[in-house]
Amino acid sequence: MKIEGDVVVLGGGPGGYVAAIVAAKNGLNTVLVEKDNLGGTCLNRGCIPTKALVRSSEVYELVKESEDFGIFNESPSFDFTKIMERKDNIVKELVAGIEYLVSKNKITLLRGVGDILDKNTVVVKEGKDEGATVSAKNIIIATGSKPFIPPIKGARESKNVYTSDEMLSLKELPKDIVIVGSGVIGMEFAFICSALEVDVTVIGSSDNILANMDGDVIKEITRISKRKKIKLITGARVEEIIDTDDGKVTVGFQRKGKEETVTADKVLMATGRSPNFSDIDLEKLGLELSDRRGIKVNSRLQTTVDNIYAIGDVTNINQLAHVASYQGEVAVANIVGEDVEADYSVVPGAIFTTPEIAAVGPTEEAAKEQGLDISTGKFLFASNGKALTYGERRGLVKVIADKATGVILGGHIIGPHASDLIHEITVAIKNKLTADQIADTIHAHPTTAETVLEAAMATTPKGAIHSA
């Protein structure tokens, strides 16, 4: 089978399928090549399934605490099989939705791995449409990333070491687990497992968990983690993983010059993800790697071959699904001649621990390191009416503003609805709004959004109203 098109997209994740849809809407004859389910890692093995598990674990915790709300349930329990089935059904529904959009936009979908023969030719291998050849004016590489396992002795050989992929396919929960890595993936799974009554130990190399977050957020999430009996081992280097004779696994690590061990049923390697371009002969095509060890692109998402673009995790610029989708739109805009440059200056991020964490812009520490003269404002969820009705007293909103102008520079939230609330601050930063402009905007009551209003007011000489 031979197909001619204007653009062929390799990979159907949040970058690839969005690029394909946008290209089709721009009148381009578009081909999408995907070996697995549409939606990529985010939908099938990342963002969505983990959030489904987060929600189930939150509901279970809420049921156990229902007496606080005047609701009695003497013996709360959960069925892990049904939890996983619910997760799978959500994924299937969303995958079907993307398949419908691809079909509706008349995109040719080929199943298999796309092998780039030259700058205008892709051949499909290892799949249903193996042998199909696509000739296209432009190619977009959106092949994503894969779990990274560091060179720790025994890590690859152990039968008890999982990545996030295997964790999302569990048939039953382990009694206890060691999570290597205290970043986003590690801490999300730590909270999921802990809520579902797994004994959790987190080992991180940094001195703090979620080390890139604002200091106030780190302090709060550390306190909450300890209250949930998540054991935190920070400033440690894992050196060896050994399967024991009784079917368990021992993790050996060094901390403060001392050798220590911890034993559990399973180990989760939550040590990040690496760009996935193993099926692409970069040298043959003349594609270069960046300092980030991803495929090198310019601000228009062009690689070193001008009609080949790369987007998403494979560029290793910012491994977020929403960044991949944005890059897909930018790449297509340039393909159709609009001359658009990607701007990563204002990118919100969310972490789905319990409670949620969200951030945009510099932390207070980073702002000071940059020499910025700032004012900060904080407001606690414990002083917010809507949060209290939900039984949520934990967390805070922190706003960072330029001291002289009042222009909002950053925002950091830990608490209920953090992943939704962050966007008010994101819009403010993007449009250079001031704290006074947020303060002058009427916010509905009672809502958790009032915490953003109060935190913004707290950066001004007037201060917050509902805070002493």
| Residues carrying an active site annotation | 445
Rg, C-alpha atoms of the chain: 24
Contacts of 167 (CB under 8 A, 6+ apart): 189, 268
The alpha carbon dihedral of 102, 106, 112, 113 has a sign of negative
Q: What is the secondary structure of 63-123 as a DSSP string? A: HHTGGGGT---SS----HHHHHHHHHHHHHHHHHHHHHHHHHTTPEEEESEEEEEETTEEE
Residues 297, 307 contacting (CB under 8 angstroms): no
Closest of 398, 372, 392, 375 to residue 448, by C-alpha: 392
Distance, in Å, from the CA atom of 308 to the CA atom of 10, rounded to the nearest integer, reads 11
Distance, in Å, from the CA atom of 458 to the CA atom of 464, rounded to the nearest integer, reads 5
> For residue 265, with 0-12 CB atoms within 10 Å meaning exposed, 13-18 middle and 19 or more buried, which class applies?
middle
Which residues does residue 142 pair with via DSSP β-bridges, in sequence order?
A: none
Token duo for residue 42: 């985010």
Q: What angle do CA 62, 65, 67 make, to 5 degrees?
A: 125
Distance, in Å, from the CA atom of 151 to the CA atom of 133, rounded to the nearest integer, reads 38
Q: What is the secondary structure of 127-179 as a DSSP string? A: STTTT-EEEEEEEEE---EEE-----BTTTT-TTEE-HHHHTT-SS--SEEEE
